[in-house]
Amino acid sequence: MTRHPDMAIRVFSYDSAEYRAQLLKENRRNPRYPVVTIVLYFGYKKHWDEPQSLLEAVTVPDILRPYVSDIKINLYEIAFLEDEQLEYFRSDFRVVADYFSQMRKNNKYVPSTETLKHVEAVLGA
């Protein structure tokens, strides 16, 4: 639940590594596909306040800014989703998201009556 100040740089490196893998000899004939990295932030005491783009994470002189490619992270602050957004979840993740939402709003959790289908995956076992 910690915010990582270098997350934008980390995402850039993860995405770059996957694009690089698409260029390897054994993959050369395969069609290219887009890489999408999603960052889930579970903190509930405060919003994410670290850089959300590469240009926010590195120091770039103004004269070079037009030439530096930027990458923005796809950040979802789970505890800060609106109740209507939480309703869209149909998997066990709905219970996880509800936990963090309740902790943010009430600082306590009233368990859901929903039955988890993938208990080990949800509990990180």
> Over the stretch 48-99, which tens digit does the pLDDT of each residue have?
999 999 999 999 999 999 999 999 999 999 999 999 999 999 889 999 999 9
Same domain assignment for residues 52 and 106: no
Q: What is the pLDDT of residue 1?
A: 58
* Same domain for 59 and 22: yes
* Range of the structural domain that residue 106 is part of: 81-125
pTM of the model: 0.84
Same domain membership, residue 70 and residue 24: yes
Q: Are residues 64 and 25 in the same domain?
A: yes
40: confidence class by pLDDT, cuts 50, 70, 90: very high
pLDDT score for 90: 85
Q: How many domains does the chain have?
A: 2
Bridge-partner residues for 72, per DSSP? 53
Q: Is 8 exposed, middle or buried (0-12, 13-18, 19+ CB in 10 A)?
A: buried
